[in-house]
Amino acid sequence: MRLHPEKTGIVCLREGGEGFDFLGFRHPKVESWKRRGRFYLQRWPSARALGVLRDKIRLATSSSRTERPVAAVVADLNPVLRRWAAYFRNGNSGRKFNAVDGYAHERLAIFASRKDGLAGRNWSTATPMGGPPDSGSTA
C-alpha cells in the first residue's frame, strides 16, 4: 500500500484542532458542553458530502422538470435521502440532518410554486393537494 502525498497529512486534534475528513465524515475534536475543558472526537457529514446531496436535490427540483408531478419528484428524492441518512446516521449528524431537511423542503416549495405558476415559496398560501382553501375555523 502506498500513501498518496496529496491525500495524506498529519493534523492536530488536541483541544479542538483542525480535524479531518474521512469517508464522507468530518472528524473534529469538540469541547464538551457538560464538562468544560474535556474534548471528544465527534463526526458529522462533511461539507463535500452535503454539497453532493444538495446538488442531487437541486437537480431533481430544477425548473426544467416542472412537467413532472410533485409526488413523482418526492418519490424520486425519497430513496436518495434515505440512503444518505442511513449512511450518516451514526455520529453527531442531527444538525446536518435538520439543514438537509430544511433545504429539501425549501426546494420542493419552490418547485411546487413554479409548477403552479407562482413566484417564491407559496406553500402556505397555495391550496394543499388541490383541495379547497382552508378557512382556519373549526366550525
pLDDT tens digits for range 69-84: 889 999 999 999 999 9
Q: What is the structure's pLDDT at 67?
A: 87
89 has a pLDDT exceeding 50:
yes
Q: Give the whole-angstrom CA distance, residue 60 versus residue 73.
A: 7
Q: Calculate what percentage of the chain has a pLDDT beyond 70.
A: 84
Taking every pair of C-alpha atoms in the chain, what is the biggest distance, in angstroms?
73
Q: Where are the domains of the chain?
A: 20-121
Residue 48: is its pLDDT beyond 90?
yes
Q: Which of 128, 119, 111 is nearest to 66 (CA)?
A: 111
What is the sign, positive or negative, of the torsion defined by CA atoms of 31, 35, 40, 44?
A: negative
Write down the pLDDT at residue 91.
86
pLDDT confidence tier of residue 105, bands split at 50, 70 and 90: very high
